[in-house]
Amino acid sequence: MQARQFLRNVSSQWGAHVITAAVGFLMPPFLLDRLGRDGYGINNLIGDLGGYSTILYFGFGVAVVRYVASHRALGEQDALNETVSTVFAVYLRIGAACLLTACLLAWPLPWIFDIPVHLTHEARLRLIFTGLAVFCDFAGSIYGGVLMGLERYDLVNGVRLASLALRSVAALVLVTWWRSILALGVIAVLTSAAEQTAYYVLVRRVMPELVVSRALNRPERVGELFTFSIQSFVFTMSDRVINYTDSIVIGQARGAAATGPYAFALRLVDFAREAIDRAAGVLMPGFAAAAARGENDRLRAFWRTGTKAIVTLSGPIALVQALWGRHVLTLWLSKNSDAAEAARVVAEAQRCMVWLALAFLMQMAGRGLARPLFEGIGQLRVPARIAMAEAVCNLALSVVLVRTWGVEGVAFATFLPAAIAGLVAMPWFVCRHLGIPFRDHVVETYVRGFAPALPAWGVLVAAEQAGWHTRFVPLAATCVLVLVVWVLAASVVTFDREERAMLRARFRD
């Protein structure tokens, strides 16, 4: 992947991430006002039911990206057509099963979830519309996977943003005129169909030689594809356990109110984690192409330079979160009418954020690039087991420590397994697989990679003495300055002369 294409892919990933988060923040109050509490709750409930269908991809989406990139690198167009046609047939069956399930659940839905009588009919139809939208997603998402396999994440994110804009504008207009959850069901079906159609049109332009046909479906290949995809699925579910079960543990042991401070800290850390994950994910097709061509030296160079780049991006973020988290939280919650309660939440959330920020850094430094690397080369079995072991240890420690240490103990339970898996287990296995001495990795990535933390820390100390942490704009400017100082220091300390020359050459192309 050329540097400019990489920048387009990453910037489009981040742009989609920011805009999606903004819409998710602004839209709920509008829908609550127009639909009422009951209608809004039912819409969210049915939307969540539809969201569970993403589990049924079982990692096949990653398999499509990986095999498209590999076949493309080797010029195996016939094999590429067969792979895409085979997964398309699987998707059609899963989508049809989801639609049938939605139809079957529509009748007993009001009794299962105690839906008010006056909303019974709307709720049933809303669920059926959700099933139709899910079917459209499964039927057309194969073409989005092909675009990602061709390293055209910029096109995929462009379609996603256009679909999000269409969905949001349609909701603002239609729900204002027709205050019904059915309006959102109609919008979901139409925008899903439009989004998948756009993927199809773009694929036909980018790869006109692609043929998706029932005649090219190879059922005997499903087992091979599933073996790979299920390992990616295990990796994904491990991440879900690590990052999204803590609130359940806290709520069960300490009550629902105790989850609030932890949720505030986790939300800030998650936003950064998802941004780095999206940037690293665009490299997977490149790894697949290099592995298919047997370019092991290129894979080793990817790993060495890529891990340093991820540390250079995640390091300043983690530093700000750990040392200035209380200032960010204070400004975020400053408009709370109960100042004493806001101060208590900030104090509890800050203690959690220190451990969560360190866990984020450990995860990114050790396995931020490991997952796309092993997905690309098609050898996820051991990395998936390492991720699952981290998830199990995280959950077990959380259950124990929440009762003795409280909410902060749950955050520490996230950090400790992340440090072991991220700094030792995962990178050791990567180095062993690629033939890189682990000691060299420790020196290059950890010692030289974390060295820029010292001047960046000095920026935070000076800015705090100047009072820049008390207002949002100076605080944001300080965060940018910390990133710039870290990157400049890394360009001298972290990256060696050969890597600097390689990066300059790639960005000049």
- Going residue by residue through the chain, which has 509 residues, state the pLDDT in tens, using 9 for 90 and above: 556 666 777 777 777 777 777 776 667 667 777 777 677 777 777 776 777 677 777 778 888 888 898 889 889 999 999 999 999 999 999 999 999 998 998 888 888 777 777 778 888 888 898 899 999 999 888 999 999 988 888 888 889 888 888 888 888 887 788 877 788 888 888 999 999 999 999 999 999 999 998 899 998 888 888 888 888 888 888 877 777 678 778 877 887 667 778 877 887 888 888 888 888 888 888 888 888 888 888 889 889 888 998 999 999 999 999 999 888 888 877 665 567 777 888 888 899 999 999 999 998 887 788 888 988 888 888 998 999 999 999 999 999 999 999 989 999 999 999 999 999 999 999 999 999 999 999 998 999 999 999 999 999 999 999 999 888 899 989 999 999 999 999 999 999 888 777 766 665 55
Cα gap 115→125, rounded to integer Å: 13
**pLDDT score at 449:** 92
Looking at this protein, which amino acid is placed at residue 184? L
Buried-state track 120-145, b at ≥16 Cβ within 10 A, e below 16: eebbbbbbbbbbbbbbbbbbbbbbbb
Q: Is the dihedral angle over the CA atoms 357, 245, 365, 439 positive or is it negative?
A: positive
**pLDDT score at 335:** 62
- Residue 351 class from Cβ within 10 Å (0-12 exposed, 13-18 middle, 19+ buried)? buried
Residue where the block lists tokens 């400053």: 334
**pLDDT score at 279:** 81
**pLDDT score at 504:** 67
**pLDDT score at 6:** 67
Cα gap 118→128, rounded to integer Å: 18
Segment 358-361 long-range contacts (CB within 8 Å, at least 24 positions apart):
358/318, 358/322, 358/415, 358/418, 358/419, 359/269, 359/411, 359/414, 359/415, 359/418, 359/419, 360/269, 360/272, 360/273, 360/314, 360/317, 360/318, 360/321, 360/418, 361/311, 361/314, 361/315, 361/318
Residue where the block lists tokens 């085979």: 86
**pLDDT score at 276:** 87
CB atoms closer than 10 angstroms to residue 416: 18
Cα gap 279→26, rounded to integer Å: 25
**pLDDT score at 343:** 81
Q: Is the dihedral angle over the CA atoms 302, 308, 311, 312 positive or is it negative?
A: negative
Count, residues in the chain: 509
